[in-house]
Amino acid sequence: MERYLQIIEEAIRSNAWKREPNGLYEPIEYVLSLGGKRIRPCLTLMACNLFSNDLTDAVTAGLALEVFHNFTLLHDDVMDKADTRRGYPTVHKRWNENTAILSGDAMLVEAYRILSGIKSPKFTEVLDLFTKTADEVCKGQQYDMEFETRDDVSLDEYMEMIRLKTAVLLAASLKIGAILGGATDSQAQLLYDFGIYVGLGFQLRDDYLDSFGDPVIFGKKIGGDILCGKKTFLLLTAKELAHDKTLDTLNNLLSLEDKKDNQKKIDGIIEIYKVLGVNNRCEEACLTLNNKAVQCIKKLQLPDNKSILFTDFANKMVNRKK
Amino acid sequence: MERYLQIIEEAIRSNAWKREPNGLYEPIEYVLSLGGKRIRPCLTLMACNLFSNDLTDAVTAGLALEVFHNFTLLHDDVMDKADTRRGYPTVHKRWNENTAILSGDAMLVEAYRILSGIKSPKFTEVLDLFTKTADEVCKGQQYDMEFETRDDVSLDEYMEMIRLKTAVLLAASLKIGAILGGATDSQAQLLYDFGIYVGLGFQLRDDYLDSFGDPVIFGKKIGGDILCGKKTFLLLTAKELAHDKTLDTLNNLLSLEDKKDNQKKIDGIIEIYKVLGVNNRCEEACLTLNNKAVQCIKKLQLPDNKSILFTDFANKMVNRKK
């Protein structure tokens, strides 16, 4: 894993970012220099390496996927009016909104430019999956924004939103690596499905930790999602389970908007989650997704030393403490 | 030409725009339904038809180019805070800014999705030119925005900006059609160059008409560019030619910002343009570009009935009255 990360970091560094006009490309280099775990390109290399020792095209595809992912962060931050990303000012804060829009556009084009460097005869198959996935990620972001102002979001709709917004890109990163490594269709599809389960589990774990994480390990304040009224797995499950007095209490707590009521709101809603057993349901859902992910890997019948890379990864994503 | 336009309109109509989430795709359909002259896809069909009677792939490429062009308009309108486009509210006015950003992103992805429908073995060549052009258009928009706050823009820089922002997409539309029709490299390049000259001429003509058009035929108020301080061919040439008292007068007029001075500013600057002969220089530049465009077509040694389509088009773009 460490070796894959090094390969990716080197690929990011050696791409030609210093181009004119500086005002267009510097923000792109900036976004990519802020780090991140490079999960998607690492998955591409991991998947490719299951079937081939030649990682050249997988590095190209991985770089394109990482650039695409960072493009979505850049534009999402504009739409969400986020001031910081990974502890640094977002592009629209450090430069301005127009720069963030246009550099983002150039970044999406750059992702396609990089992807087109793939030499494999599988290129068009990879390109089509990349484009389908990019479209799905846009859909996911659209649903996410629409959910903010809707009060009738169902748990199924939420799962579909996080599948589109988060899981499909992880899944595509794996499948693209597999395709380039020479996997069969069914092997590539098993890795795709693995990515979907891990992606969904990752997001549910995120929802869980926001209310039930250990604040010391988690490193963030508990209850952020509750205060910003986010429709998470926890809240949507609570709404489906709560009746009568509990539902009234939940709705009353949700309607609190005064800052001085913040702690009361967080504590009250977490208490309801516990009473309804929403925390347990979320943990169970994570466990189920993790198991499904592991099943996909088992079906691939890999040697143990290769299997473990993937099952470890699933575990890290879905059972993480922070 | 009329036949090409019909084919394109039919291709736009029959693409699947009605997709979920509606909030993401409806703005895309809206932008494309506002009309426009469909110049780029028509050029693709015209160029392809010089070499082949099978227009299938050219229609696909033309549609992708038209979707891309409208994507740039959508995002440019956000950046320019434009309220209307073709007489209708812009997407960020009719919906909101986030919708305009995200639907624009989805539109760029959609352009690539459509383009990937090309069946020709020339697909990767077309894809690479499309991506290179998309990158150049972003650069052009970046320079255009930077020029707004710069006072030292040279005429050469301006020509390079309009080449990137306007001309390369016309040129690429022609070249892509030519490639798909089976043109040789040099034939495809001549059509590309033709597109560059016409694109530059089109923009200079635009600059000219804003100050020297017949307001009745032009259909817009004269002097719009002058009032918004746009660095046009006229202004930049005037700045290069003016000295001493004329330069002082020009700078004084440029510094007028009070609305009541609007007409004085327009009249004064147009008078200076006339004194310096800037209007004639602009007309000469248009003529030269038109001639260069025609030379490219001559070198193609087409039968007269085919040549005339292109020379007529150049004439219409570069010598138009409105």
Q: State the smallest CA–CA distance between residue B254 and chain A in angstroms.
A: 26
The percentage of chain A sitting over the pLDDT mark of 70, rounded to a whole number, equals 100
Give the model confidence (pLDDT) of A194-235 as tens digits. 999 999 999 999 999 999 999 888 878 899 999 999 999 999
Chain B: closest CA distance from residue A249 (Å): 33
- Cβ proximity of B211 and B234 under 8 Å: yes
| Helix-helix angle B56-79:A97-115, to 10 degrees | 160
CA–centroid distance for A43 within its chain: 13
Contact B309, B46 (CB under 8 A): yes
User: Given this model, what pLDDT does residue A180 score?
Assistant: 98
Contact yes or no for A75 and B110 at CB 8 A: no
Percent of chain B whose predicted confidence (pLDDT) is above 70? 100
Position A49 scores a pLDDT of 97
Whether B116 sits inside 8 A of A123 (CB atoms) is no
Answer whether B108 sits within 8 Å of A110, measured CB to CB: no
**Residues A23, B98, A92: CA angle, nearest 5 degrees:** 30
**What digits encode the pLDDT tens for the residues B196-236?**
999 999 999 999 999 999 988 887 889 999 999 999 999 99
Report the Cα B43 to chain-centroid distance in Å: 13
Contact A100/B at CB under 8 A: no
Q: Where in B175-232 does DSSP place strands (E)?
A: none
Whether B128 has its CB under 8 Å from any CB of chain A: the answer is yes
DSSP run (H or E) holding A41: helix A39-49
Core vs surface per residue B283-295: b (16+ CB within 10 A) or e: eebbeebbebbbe
| Residues 6 or more apart in contact with residue A251 via CB below 8 angstroms | none
CA distance B118 to A87: 43
- In this complex, which of B75, B108, B131 lies closest to A113 when CB atoms are compared? B131
Distance of alpha carbon A72 from alpha carbon A67, whole angstroms: 9
Average pLDDT, integer, range B93-103:
97
pLDDT of B262: 96
- CA distance linking residue A210 with residue A232, whole number of Å: 10
Distances (CA, A) of A265 to A153, A155, A255, A280: 21, 22, 9, 21
- Quote the pLDDT of residue B277: 98
Residues of chain A contacting B79 with CB distance shorter than 8 Å: 98, 101-102
Q: How many CB atoms neighbour CB B79 within 10 A? A: 18
Q: Which structure tokens are listed for B128?
A: 């690479």
Say which residue the tokens 């100050």 belong to.
B211
Structure tokens at A103: 């550099």
**B206 touches B320 (CB < 8 A):** no
Contacts with A139 from chain B: Cβ below 8 Å = 20-21, 24, 106
Inter-chain residue contact A145 with B102, CB threshold 8 Å: yes
Nearest-CA neighbor of B164 among B119, B134, B194?
A: B134
pTM of the complete model beyond 0.90: yes
What percent of chain A has pLDDT above 90? 96
Mind listing the pLDDT tens digit of every residue in chain A (322 residues)? 899 999 999 999 999 899 999 999 999 999 999 989 999 999 999 999 999 999 999 999 999 999 999 999 999 999 999 999 999 999 999 999 999 999 999 999 999 999 999 999 999 999 999 999 999 999 999 999 999 999 999 999 999 999 999 999 999 999 999 999 999 999 999 999 999 999 999 999 999 999 999 988 887 889 999 999 999 999 999 999 999 999 999 999 999 999 999 999 999 999 999 999 999 999 999 999 999 999 999 999 999 999 999 999 999 999 998 8
Q: Does B101 touch chain A (CB under 8 A)?
A: yes
Q: Does any CB of chain B come closer than 8 Å to the CB of residue A143? A: yes
Residue B32: what pLDDT?
96
SS3 at position A118: coil
What pLDDT sits at residue A220? 82
State whether the Cα torsion A217-A223-A229-A234 is positive or negative. Answer: positive
DSSP B77-99: HHHTT--EETTEE-HHHHS-HHH
List chain B residues with CB under 8 Å of A172. Answer: none
- CB-based contact (8 Å) between B291 and chain A? no
pLDDT tens-digit map of B225-273: 999 999 999 999 999 999 999 999 999 999 999 999 999 999 999 999 9
Residue B275 in this model has a pLDDT that exceeds 90: yes
Least Cα separation, residue A50 to chain B (angstroms): 28
How are beta strands A88-89 and B84-85 bridged, if at all? unpaired
Judged by DSSP in three states, A88 sits in strand
Cβ proximity of B124 and A116 under 8 Å: yes
Residue B18: the pLDDT is 92
Q: Which helix (H) or strand (E) holds A89?
A: strand A88-89
Q: How many CB pairs under 8 A join A and B?
A: 95
Verify whether the Cβ–Cβ distance B113 to A131 is below 8 Å: yes
Q: Can you tell me the distance from the alpha carbon of A122 to that of A125, in angstroms, rounded to the nearest whole number?
A: 5
Q: Tell me the C-alpha distance between A46 and A57, whole Å.
A: 13
Helical segments of A149-181, H only: 155-162, 168-181
Distance from CA of A24 to the nearest CA of B (A): 6
- The whole-angstrom distance between A233's CA and the closest CA on chain B is 21
Give the pLDDT of residue A91. 97
Phi-psi region of A242 (alpha: psi -120 to 50; beta: other; left: phi over 0): beta
pLDDT for res A285 = 98
A111: Cα within 13 Å, side-chain hemisphere: 28
Q: Residue A85, SS3? A: strand
Q: What is the mean pLDDT of residues B184-203?
A: 98
In chain B, count of helices (H) and strands (E)? Answer: 17, 2
Which pLDDT does position A215 carry in this prediction?
A: 87
C-beta atoms of B24 and A142 within 8 A: yes
pLDDT class of B157 with cuts at 50, 70, 90: very high
* Residue B127 contacts A, CB cutoff 8 Å: yes
User: Positive or negative, the Cα torsion across A145, B82, A131, B7?
Assistant: positive
What own/partner pairs with CB < 8 Å and gap ≥ 24 does A138-142 have?
A138/B24, A138/B102, A138/B105, A138/B106, A138/B109, A139/A164, A139/B20, A139/B21, A139/B24, A139/B106, A140/A164, A140/A165, A140/A166, A140/A168, A141/A72, A141/A76, A141/A79, A141/A165, A141/B102, A142/B21, A142/B23, A142/B24, A142/B102, A142/B106
Predicted pLDDT of residue A43: 98
Q: Which residue type does B183 have?
A: A
Picking from A106, A108, A116, the nearest residue to B105 by CB comes out as A108
What's the first-to-final CA gap in chain B, in angstroms? 19
Terminal CA-to-CA distance of chain A, rounded, Å? 19
Q: What is the DSSP letter of A164?
A: I
The enclosing H or E element of A84 equals strand A84-85
Residue B1 has pLDDT above 90, yes or no: no
Is residue A134 less than 8 Å (CB to CB) from chain B?
Answer: yes
Give the Cβ contact number of residue B261 at 10 Å.
Answer: 14
